[in-house]
Structure 1
Amino acid sequence: MKPSLLLLSIASALLAGCSDSDSPLTPDTPQQPDFVSVEKAVSIDAGTTYQTMRGFGASDCWTADYVGQYWTRQRDAISELLFSTDIADGRAKGIGLSQWRVNLGGGTAAQGDASGIDEKTRRAASFLTGTGQYDWNNCRGQQYFMQRAKDMGCPSFVLFSNTPPVQFTRNGKGFSASGACSNLKEDAYDDFADYLATVAQHYLHAGYPVTHLSPVNEPQYNWDSGQEGSGWQNSEVARLIRELDRALTDKQADVTILPGEAGDWEYLYKTKGDATRSNVIADFFTPSSADYIGNLKHTANLLCGHSYWTDGTWNGMRKVRQQVAAAAQAKGIELWQSEWSMLGDGYSSEEFVGYDKATEMDIALYMSKVIHNDLTQAGVGSWSFWTSMDVPRWGHQNRFLLIALTPAGGENGDLAQEGSYRPTATLWVLGNYSRFIRPGYVRIRMDYNESRHFFASAWMSPDKKEVVAVYTNLTSDKGIRLSETHTGWQGKAASVRFYTTTARKQLAESSVSPDGPVVLEPMSVTTVVYQLN
């Protein structure tokens, strides 16, 4: 029988005896908390479906190249945290990323100090040498993580570029002096496209699942210092994408072009600042537009944006995401969220305590708020964090990273000197989504009394044998007790397991009988997995 409806009765409770323990309950031990209940109701309707998930990812920029090359004692364990889907002894070994974003650097690392990029770790290597030859031994650290991701079953690699190789830029640098226009030489569009397609073809032939290629990054910014980048006009991006489509076709590389990487969601659906670099959905996907790219072999009515700067409040982020979703739906466009970290400022003091007072878990929980609204309001089919690993300098805690690195010389030490690493709360909260909502899972309807303190989404596996629900409870004085009933299935769920992340738990596994309650702890993200008969 086709599953059609899951009804959950939720009791919101003051927990008298539910505390964060360093030791998770064993998988076969149900929780028996002492609580005072207040009834709420949630229903999950598997007959109403929304977007299909393509994957959750993170970027290897920039430090993965150092860790992959020089951190030889610990790099295996670091890669396991990112890509493993194994659960042993009641704990997840990793967060099972299903997309890996690989930076195709511009060659500033080979330029050294002459690159003009002061911070060494922000320079990136390239496979293209100064003589125009390809050296596939370059980017060895990045290639290590690519191999590990492949070995652990990551099904999708997204190659992305911040700048054309320095051989092709107007100023011979990886950053731009061209303002709002591209730093790519006028006669080098075909050269840059051929480079991107050649790298994609190389890895496809080597057996890597390269599915997408993103040729520009945040084209609304000028990128005139500090790191690799370039501004781009919409017309210039469209020209490059047409050249890239030709190059991929010539090389018979079955890769989809991923346009966009907009600096924030608003650039996609309205004129914001420079009109020639915004309103991207209409410009790229209106057939009468001079910049139309919707008819190319290697485009797929797909566009991505970044969740920066539109995440300051619950209501504000929902409004922006509803607007970009409406614009995309009007053109039949699938949206991906391809980069977020807690970069912004101006967060509401009612919703965030501020960076000076925030714990790592505060930031991780705020990320869950952004993920939830990107999934349910923007309807994105992919969600990626900015960078997988970095050094948490300047008191930034885990704002920009999943795995915190400390070189042997300390915070300001040389990353080529292996030191220590630490998984952060952000890693594990992302894992509440990435480890369990797998590619091909479909979001299904969920009705409940949603608020910025309590929110959730539900997903069904392609074979309709598993339902995954991810709950975030941001109340500090309440727990949520779920007692489950369901209709439309042949019998009840065969098993119920749940995975809790708090300030002291990292995807800690517990289980209850199909008739037993699941307790969502205060200030937690909990993933409930229902295995169906």
Structure 2
Amino acid sequence: MQRRVLRLVAVGTAVGLGLAGLPASAQASAAPSARVWVTTIDRAELMHERAAVPFTTNASNGVTIAVDPSRTYQSMDGFGASITDSSASVLYRLSPQQRAEAMRALFDPERGAGVSFLRQPIGASDFTAEAVHYTFDDMPPGQTDYTLSHFSIEHDRAQVLPLLREAKRLNPQLKVMATPWSPPAWMKTSDSLASGELKDDPKVYAAYAVYLTRFVLAYTAAGVPVDYLTVQNEPQNRDAGGGPVMGLNTTQASKVIEILGPLLRILSPRTKILGYDHNWQTHPNDIKNTPPGQDPEADYPYKMLSTPASRWLAGTAYHCYYGDPSAMTALHDAFPDKGIWFTECSGSHGANDTPAQYFTDTLKWHARTITVGTTRNWAKSAVTWNIALDSTGGPHLGGCGTCTGLVTVQPDGSWTTNAEYYTIGHLSRFVKPGAVRIASSSFGNPAWNGEVTDVAFRNPDGSTVLVAHNENDAPRTFTVAVGGHSFDYTLPGGSLATFTWPRSKVLDDGLRLLSLAGATATSSVGADAGLAADEDASTRWSSGAAQEPGQYLQVDLGSARTFRRVAIDSGASVGDYARGWQLSTSSDGTTWRVIASGTGAGQLSNVDVAATRARYLRITSTASAGNWWSIADIRLYS
């Protein structure tokens, strides 16, 4: 009986993959199909699964996203939002059945969005349903509690903690980060949660470190272990529009962390500290509101990671409200051994925008900036802000009046999904905790250039996930290539898609992508030759003139490298490929040897050669054409 059941399972699987009737050897060598889910800006498709598309060996002449699992980047922790006090309050307005359905839609990794990361306020944020802001050790004005004898998380036991426990039940891989908007007022120079700084007093530094540790231990005892902790939300923001806030410079932050780090190592070793939790770039208002005589610390994360307290830090966290995601890559390059998390970016809308308009605008901006932009720039997480709000964007006490959540609880007791549900869901449902980002050529960018932008991951089970966003309002057709196989796909304007396919030996051609770090380039025509060797397909070198024989682009690899394939990728500049080309190498930049030549047929030319070792590589045009000649990416494979 057992053999028969196993055989039926195997046959059923083969039928599902379209392999029934093929001999076993053919089934083993058949290329897989990619499953596809799409969200469109008109809501006609909302993470809707379309027909699968098979990989084939047919050549393509179009724009090609080359996915290469041999090059890996950061591991992923998860994607999600925050169950703020406001979020908990509006979710509890739902009937028990509706609330259970909303939680499944948010956290269930099979039937919902699979939210896998939550950033939780320690005490009140500006999004609180309470009449006043609060912490977990509030005292009457003029009184202190250095022994923390009044510390209690009782406030969160009513609604926040039950929702967190349910979230962890639905998704056991869920990670939790905790962040305070303000310490208790008695620790601050202002005696207020809405202003001031931490008192410069060793007793206060110690009390604050113990306060944060007590929170971690209390939440753990309540069934919600804390994986990450920062010591202050937006430490340079001293004006939160009436919400809780505190300025905390790197000197004071370091003093707290030097006490907090050893405490957590002993009492909660799973809890890692992040040393910055603010924007990609210091906002001008933060500089303006810096107290006289203080350094505004525009280089805050760099200074924080350069202090002795850095030994207690796993890395840093970023928000989206000023600057751009490239700041995270710059920090990674400076401190490659420290992690980077992206932890807040609220959806928002103009005062007169219709729901349809801000769904469209939020989907497009978040897709290119957060879904793809943060993860392509080393973020181990992508997190928005409130997981749920009501139809007025509240309740809130100070702060943002136009923010949106992943879901909206409507006045009639129902709930609806917003754009953020999908910009997060296209990641969280498919990219599992522990996945690793892998190389993929991407042609769009967070600043918007109207092309297709993407990011790819390898899951712990070996499956691959590709998330792609069409920045343009018009449909865009592209090819996805892995090894020697590919498929073509067309995405509607503004849409977001996730492609997944299983581990497959057929898609592994045995080649490994080489790093071009440190490579430089020159050219006989045009400018910015280095853009062809910067490992960024959204930038390009162009000849600046019609193609003519003898034009060339030359790359200095910095040292001799051995390779077996050269990919010459003209990227999204459709038609700007060399009509004829010649590939030459040199060890000294003076004596050249031709190793290949051919006729261009499309945007991507993969030139396979015998194992070749060289320091210099030159690509020369050998034909005439009215088109300019562009190269977005040169890639070498060993």
Using the size of structure 1 for normalisation, the TM-score is 0.71
Q: Is the 8 A contact 1:159 1:210 kept in 2?
A: yes
Cα RMSD (Å): 3.8
Q: 2:299 aligns with which of 266, 275, 279?
A: 279
Measure, in 1, the Cα distance between the counterparts of 2:176 and 2:280: 23
Task: Name which of 452, 465, 470 aligns with 2:467.
Answer: 470
> Contact 1:183 / 1:231 at 8 angstroms: preserved in 2?
no
Q: Does 1:245 align with 2:261?
A: yes
Which structure shows the bigger proportion of residues in strand conformation? 2
What are the within-5 Å matches in structure 2 for residues 102-501 of structure 1?
A: 102-105=120-123, 121=130, 123-128=132-137, 130=139, 132-139=149-156, 140-153=158-171, 154-176=173-195, 178=196, 181-182=197-198, 187-223=203-239, 225-262=241-278, 264-267=279-282, 275-286=295-306, 291-296=307-312, 299-300=313-314, 302-310=315-323, 317=324, 321-332=325-336, 333-342=338-347, 358-371=357-370, 372-376=372-376, 378-393=377-392, 399-407=403-411, 419-447=413-441, 449-450=443-444, 451-463=449-461, 465-480=462-477, 482=479, 486-487=482-483
2:100 is aligned with 1:76: yes
2:244 alignment partner AA: E
- Cα 1:40/1:518, change in 2 over 3 Å: closer
Change (3 A) 1:306 1:525: same
CA distance in structure 2 between the aligned counterparts of 1:337 and 1:54, rounded to whole angstroms = 11
Equivalent-residue separation in structure 1 for 2:63 and 2:264 (angstroms):
53
Task: State which of 481, 485, 491 in structure 2 corresponds to 1:520.
Answer: 491
Question: 1:461/1:405 Cα in 2 relative to 1: closer, same or farther (>3 Å)?
Answer: same
After superposition, the Cα gap between the structure-2 partners of 1:244 and 1:23, relative to the gap in structure 1 and judged at 3 Å, is: closer
Q: Is the contact made by 1:459 and 1:468 (CA closer than 8 Å) also made in structure 2?
A: yes
Q: Secondary structure at the match of 1:39?
A: coil
- Decide whether the 8 Å contact of 1:466 with 1:531 is kept in 2: yes
How far 1:129 sits from its partner (Å)?
6.0
* Alpha-carbon spacing, 1:122–1:339, altered in 2? closer, same or farther (3 Å): farther
Q: Is contact 2:33–2:53 with CA below 8 Å preserved after alignment?
A: no
Change (3 A) 1:65 1:201: same
Task: Measure, in 1, the Cα distance between the counterparts of 2:471 and 2:287.
Answer: 33
Q: Residues 98-135 of structure 1: CA distance to partner in whole angstroms, max 9, x if unpaired?
A: 111111115x9xxxxxxxx9985574554446583344
Q: Which amino acid aligns with 1:487?
A: G
**Change beyond 3 A, Cα 1:62–1:487:** same
CA displacement at 1:64 relative to structure 2:
2.2
1:118 and 1:461 map into 2 onto residues whose CA distance is 34
Does the Cα contact within 8 Å between 2:341 and 2:380 map onto a contact in 1? yes
Closer/same/farther in 2, CA of residues 147 and 184 from structure 1, 3 Å limit: farther
SS at match of 1:192: helix
CA contact (8 A) 1:128 1:134 kept: yes
Deviation at 1:525, TM superposition (A): 0.4
The separation in 1 between residues aligned to 2:46 and 2:192, in whole angstroms, is: 52
Aligned counterparts of 1:344 and 1:265: Cα–Cα separation in 2: 21
Kept after mapping to 1: 8 A contact 2:436/2:457: yes
One-letter code aligned to 1:470: V
Alpha-carbon deviation of 1:322?
3.1
How far 1:223 moved relative to its partner? Answer: 3.1
How many Å apart are 1:304 and its aligned residue? 0.9
Deviation at 1:398, TM superposition (A): 7.9
Q: Which amino acid aligns with 1:282?
A: Y
Using CA pairs under 8 Å that are at least 6 residues apart, name the structure with larger relative contact order, 1 or 2.
Answer: 1
Between the two proteins, what is the percent identity of the paired residues? 20
In structure 1, the residue matched to 2:84 is: 61
Tell me how many residue pairs correspond in the alignment: 432
Q: Which amino acid aligns with 2:378?
A: G
Mean CA deviation greater in 211-220 or 148-157? 148-157
Q: Kindly tell me: are residues 397 and 518 of structure 1, through their superposed partners in 2, closer, same or farther at Cα, counting changes over 3 Å?
A: farther
How far off is 1:362 after superposition? 2.2
Aligned counterparts of 2:212 and 2:121: Cα–Cα separation in 1: 11
Q: 1:344 to 1:51 in 2, by over 3 A?
A: farther
Does the CA contact (< 8 Å) of 2:183 and 2:208 recur in 1?
Answer: yes
Q: Is the 8 A contact 2:76 2:434 kept in 1?
A: yes
SS state at 1:266 partner:
coil
Equivalent pair of 1:7/1:485 in contact (CA under 8 Å): no
Larger radius of gyration: 2
Q: For the residues of structure 1 that align with 2:127 and 2:456, how far apart are their CA atoms?
A: 46
Tell me, in whole angstroms, the C-alpha distance in 1 between the residues paired with 2:82 and 2:229: 13
Distance 2:440 2:237 in 1: 38
Distance 1:343 1:359, change over 3 A: closer
Q: CA deviation at 1:521?
A: 2.9
5+ residue gaps, structure 1, are: 1-5, 10-18, 32-36, 88-93, 109-116, 311-316, 346-352, 409-418, 493-514
* Among 70, 74, 80, the residue aligned to 1:51: 74
Cα pair 1:234 1:276 within 8 Å, conserved: no
Alpha-carbon shift at residue 526 of structure 1 (Å): 0.5
User: Is the CA contact 1:162–1:229 (under 8 Å) kept in the aligned structure 2?
Assistant: yes
In structure 2, do the counterparts of structure 1 residues 360 and 230 end up closer, same or farther at CA, with 3 Å as the change threshold? Answer: same
Tell me if the contact between 1:118 and 1:226 (Cα under 8 Å) persists in the aligned partners: no
| Aligned mates of 1:127, 1:328 — CA distance in 2 | 35
CA distance in 2, matches of 1:208, 1:80: 18
- Aligned position for 1:41: 64
Report the alpha carbon displacement of residue 200 of structure 1 after superposing the two structures with TM.
0.8
Distance in 2 (CA, whole Å) between partners of 1:205 and 1:526 is: 40
Partner of 2:12: none
TM-score w.r.t. the length of structure 2 is 0.60
**Cα deviation code 1:217-261 (max 9, x no counterpart):** 111111365111111122111111122223324534431112211
**Secondary structure of residue in 2 paired with 1:217:** coil
Offset from partner CA, 1:306-350 (integer Å, 9 cap, x none): 11122xxxxxx3xxx3344223322233221111124699xxxxx
> Can you give the 5+ residue segments of structure 2 that lack an aligned partner in the other structure?
1-30, 35-41, 55-59, 140-144, 395-399, 505-638
User: What corresponds to 1:12 in structure 2?
Assistant: none
